[in-house]
Amino acid sequence: MADALIRVRVFADGAELAHAAAEEFVHRVAEAVRLRGRAAVALSGGSTPRRLFSLLADPAAAFRDRIDWRALHFFWTDERHVPPDHPESNFRMARGTLLDTAPVPLQNVHRIRGEESAASRAAALYEEELRAFFAGDPRFDLVLLGLGADAHTASLFPGTEAVRERTRWVAAPWVGKLESFRITLTPAVLECARALLFLVQGADKAEALRAVLEGEIDPDRRPAQGIRALDGETLWWVDAVAAGGLEKHRATNR
């Protein structure tokens, strides 16, 4: 992946990474509200976002009171084909760590209907909602993304057709190794973002991170390689352990 397309920052540990991500979240939301009157953010699942969400919602932390929650709209990058109260639901995780604690208006929460009997129906409904909300290009102010050990991001998995989708905004790929459907935003949406923020931590992500940032370009095998903001910023914020295999990207938060 060409250096000109991304900015990499390496943090000492997960706590430092989460704190910096919270600051970035607050900044991006405030700037969007100032310029456009509202902010649209797409959330991801995983352990790193969980820590971030808890920081944002914590009344004792420095972030909650700096967010105009009435002007902030929440969407999701992807979801499992499960009901919203299922233990594996990305929505459930965000609700438990952020949405039920922070003063978020119900109408500002735009979740994927993973409980639909057909994942394709859930994808179609979510695309309808996105198109109605944006009434134009899907310009999210901030999209939070992670990285799987197989180099997937959102629910864009290696070998699935969704990796190269440029027409539909939401897809429902069958992921063979998981034996399940997923519902996911496609590259057609993600590349329109004003900012993409990849949050990566842990030794189990080191090889995937090295392959994505410094390996041979092959988005079919490494879907995260194909995701970048075409008219915005693509940020990779990682902890020192995950960055252990990097050679070309030695940028730090200092």
In whole angstroms, what is the distance from residue 218 CA to residue 216 CA?
6
Return phi, psi of residue 197, to 5°. Answer: -120, 105
Residues of 32-64 as b/e, b for ≥16 C-beta within 10 angstroms? bbeeeebbbbbbbbbebbbbbbbbbbbeeeebb
Asked whether residue 250 is assigned to any structural domain, the reply reads no
Asked whether residue 254 is assigned to any structural domain, the reply reads no
Quick one: tokens of 25?
A: 């979240």
In whole angstroms, what is the distance from residue 142 CA to residue 36 CA?
14
| Domain at 92, CATH number | 3.40.50.1360
Q: What is the pTM of this model?
A: 0.96
* Total number of domains in the chain: 1
Asked whether residue 251 is assigned to any structural domain, the reply reads no
Q: Which domain holds residue 237?
A: 3-245
pLDDT in tens, the chain (254 residues): 544 468 999 999 999 999 999 999 999 999 999 999 999 999 999 888 999 999 999 999 999 999 999 999 999 999 999 999 999 999 999 999 999 999 999 999 999 999 999 999 999 999 999 999 999 999 999 999 999 999 999 999 999 999 999 999 999 999 999 999 999 999 999 999 999 999 999 999 999 999 999 999 999 999 999 999 999 999 999 999 999 999 877 555 44
H/E element, 40:
strand 39-43
At residue 2, the pLDDT reads 46
Asked whether residue 220 is assigned to any structural domain, the reply reads yes
At residue 254, the pLDDT reads 41
Q: Name which of 47, 43, 18, 16 is nearest 29 in CA terms.
A: 43
CA angle 167, 236, 1 (to 5 degrees): 65
DSSP 143-204: EEE---TTS-BTTB-TT-GGGG--S-SEE--EEGGGTEEEEEE-HHHHTT-SEEEEEE-SGG
In the chain, which residue ranges form alpha helices assigned H by DSSP? 14-36, 47-57, 90-94, 119-134, 187-190, 206-214
In whole angstroms, what is the distance from residue 43 CA to residue 45 CA?
7
Do 7 and 20 meet the contact criterion of CB atoms below 8 Å apart?
Answer: no
Asked whether residue 176 is assigned to any structural domain, the reply reads yes
Query: Quick one: angle between helices 14-36 and 47-57, nearest 10?
Result: 60
Asked whether residue 152 is assigned to any structural domain, the reply reads yes
Amino acid residing at 56: L
Asked whether residue 29 is assigned to any structural domain, the reply reads yes
Asked whether residue 253 is assigned to any structural domain, the reply reads no
